[in-house]
Amino acid sequence: MKYKILFFYWLFSSTVIANETTYSIEQLNHNQLLTEKLLSDMLSIDRMDLVERLLPIYQNFPEKKNPRLINYAKIKQARALFLDYQNNKAKKAFQVLQNQDNLTNEERSIIQDYLQAIDHRESWQFSLGGNYLQTKNVNNTSGERHIENTGFVKNDDMLPQSAHGFAYYFDVQKNWNLIGSHYLHFANNLYGKNYWDNHDYDEITNRTYLGYQYQNANYKLALKPFYERQWLGNHRYNWANGARVEYSSNLVKNWQISTALEFSQPRYFTQPDRNGTIKLASATIIWQPTEKGYYYLGTDFIRETTRIKQYSNDMKALRLGWRQNWGYSIASQINASIALKQYKDFASLGNILPLDKVRRDKIYSFNLTLWKQDWQYLGFVPKVQFRWKKQKSNIPSMFSYSEKYIQVLIEKDF
C-alpha cells in the first residue's frame, strides 16, 4: 500500500503526517515496526527525501534490524546522488558502502557497477572517425559556363572540379565535478578534409571549448566559451571566438528537448569584408517510444552579419531524423533537412561584376546510414552511408548544384 505522506521540515520538526495519520518523531523512535514499514514503503516509491529522514531513526533502534533493508536504503541514497550527477558525493557514498562487512555478493556487484560508471563519467571521452571522399564538384558550384545574362563566360577554374581524398574527425571532452552538480567542461572538436589530387580544397576546422556545466537528473545547462580556427587549402582562413549556451531537459515520458544559442565573431585573414558576427538559435524535440529507436524534429536560425552587406544572410532550417535498432544487430539512421538562405544585398562577383539579384538559396539534404553493431575491429565500426544534397539558387549559373554518393565511414567511441 502506498502512503500519501507529508513531512513538515521546520528546523526542529517533530511530527510526521502519514496517510492522514499524524506520528511524532518520538512515536517513531519507540515503534520499530512502524518505522520499518514506512521506510520500506518510501523506498518503493522513491521518496528519497523521506528515506533520508527515516533511515537514521531506524538505524538507532537497539533491537535486531533488517540489514538488507538498511543496505538497500543506503544504495538507493547513493544512487540518487549518481542520478543527480553529484559524482563526488556519489563516489564517496558508494566507497563507504563498499567497505561494509555485511554486504551480499549482489550488493557488492551493484556498488562496483556504479563506481565504474562514475569513473567512466570522469574519464576523458574520445570519438574519432574517417571516410573516403570522391566528388565531381569539390567547389560546390554550377556546371553552367555562362554567367546569367552578363555575357561573361566562366574559365575552367570556376567550373566543377573533381577530387579524391578522405575526411576525418577527432573529438575529445572531459567534465570535472566541482561541487554538487556543477562541472568544469572542456571539449575540442577537430574536423578536416584532405584531397590528394586537389589540395586547394583541403580544409581543417578546430574548435575548443572551456566552460561551465550544470547537470542533474532532469536537465542540463552549459555555458561554453570557445575559440575556433579554420584552414583552407593549407592556408589560414579565419579565426573566431564566441560562446555557446546549451539547455536540454526531459519533458513528459519519452520526450526530450534540446536547445542552443550561439554567438561568434569570425575574422578572416585575407577577406576582411567577411568579418562580422554569426548568431545561431536551435531547438530539437526528441521522442524515444522504445529503447530500439528515436525520432527528432529540429529547427535552426542563423544570422550572419558582415562588413559588406551582400555577404550578410539569414538561414532558416528544418531538420528531422530517425534512428532505429533492428534485429540481428542491424541499425539505421535517416537525417533530412530543408533550408532557406536569404542574402541582404545584390550579389556581385568580386565586387566587380553585378548579378542584379539578391541571392536566395534553397538547400535540401538527405542521409541514410546503415551498420551492423557487432561488426567491429578494435572498437572501429564500419558504416555505409548514402548522401544526397541539392542547392537551388535564384542565381543558378553560379550557385545551383546537386550531388549524391555512397561512402563507407569508420568510427570509434572510447
Are 110 and 157 members of one domain? no
DSSP 253: T
Pick the closest to residue 222 from 264, 176, 184, 171 (CA basis): 184
Mark whether 137 and 59 lie in a shared domain: no
Mean pLDDT of 335-339: 97
- Percent of the chain beyond pLDDT 90? 60
Q: Do both 169 and 88 map to the same domain? A: no
Q: Which domain holds residue 74?
A: 5-119
| pLDDT of the residue at 333 | 95
Of 119, 153, 184, which residue constitutes the final position of a domain? Answer: 119
132 and 109 in a common domain: no
How many CB atoms are closer than 10 A to CB 158? 16
- CATH code: domain of residue 34: 1.25.40
- pLDDT band, residue 7 (cuts 50/70/90): very low
| Grid cell at residue 301 | 536560425
Q: Please tell me whether residues 154 and 25 are part of one structural domain.
A: no
- Residue 22's pLDDT is 64
Note whether 111 and 131 are same-domain residues.
no
Count of domains forming the chain? 2
pLDDT at 148 over 70: yes
Whether residue 335 sits in one domain with residue 228: yes
Is the pLDDT assigned to residue 2 strictly greater than 50? no
Written as nine digits, the cell of 300 is 535552426
Q: Is the pLDDT of residue 182 over 80?
A: yes
Cα 335 to Cα 331: distance, rounded to the nearest angstrom: 14
pLDDT tens figures, 212-248: 999 998 999 999 999 999 999 989 999 999 999 999 9
**What is the spatial distance between Cα 348 and Cα 310, in angstroms, rounded to a whole number?**
8
Task: Determine the Cα–Cα distance for residues 162 and 159; give it in Å rounded to an integer.
Answer: 10
Q: Look up the CATH number of the domain holding residue 225.
A: 2.40.160.40
Query: Contact, 282 vs 298, CB < 8 A?
Result: yes
How far CA 23 is from CA of 26, 30, 48, 61, 86, in Å, comes to 8, 11, 19, 17, 33
Q: Considering 89, 119, 149, which residue would you say is the last residue of a domain? A: 119
Q: Could you tell me if 113 and 164 lie in one domain?
A: no
Q: Which of 119, 142, 162 is the last residue of a domain?
A: 119
The packing angle between helices 67-83 and 32-44, to 10°, is: 40
Residue with cell 542552443: 260
Mean pLDDT of 16-41: 71
pTM: 0.84
Residue 214 β-bridge partners = 182, 221
Question: How many whole angstroms separate alpha carbon 24 and alpha carbon 17?
Answer: 8
Report phi then psi at 45, rounded to 5. Answer: -110, 15
Q: Residue 231 has what pLDDT?
A: 96
Measured between alpha carbons, how far is 194 from 132 in angstroms, rounded to an integer?
10
> Which residue is it, cell 584532405?
194
With pLDDT > 70 as the criterion, what percentage of the chain qualifies?
Answer: 94
Residues 150, 111 share a domain: no
105 has pLDDT over 70: yes
Integer CA distances (angstroms), 357 to 131, 353, 399, in order: 38, 12, 12
Q: Verify that 61 and 78 share a domain, yes or no.
A: yes
The reported pLDDT for the residue numbered 188 is 98
Query: Is pLDDT of 91 > 80?
Result: yes
- 292 CB contacts (<8 Å, ≥6 apart)? 324, 325, 326
| One domain, residues 80 and 160 | no
Per-residue pLDDT band at 64 (split at 50, 70, 90): confident
| Domain identity same for 140 and 100 | no
| Strand partners for 255 | 287
Residue 379: pLDDT over 50: yes
Residue 115 has pLDDT above 80, yes or no: yes
330 compared with 351, residue with greater pLDDT: 330
- The residue-averaged pLDDT of 73-98 equals 93
Position 5 scores a pLDDT of 39
Task: Give me the amino acid identity at 234.
Answer: N
With contact defined as beta carbons under 8 Å apart, do 370 and 361 qualify? no
The whole-angstrom separation of Cα 338 and Cα 319 is 7
Residue 16 is predicted with a pLDDT of: 54
Q: How many residues does the chain have?
A: 414
Sign of the C-alpha dihedral computed for residues 96, 98, 99 and 102 taken in this order:
positive
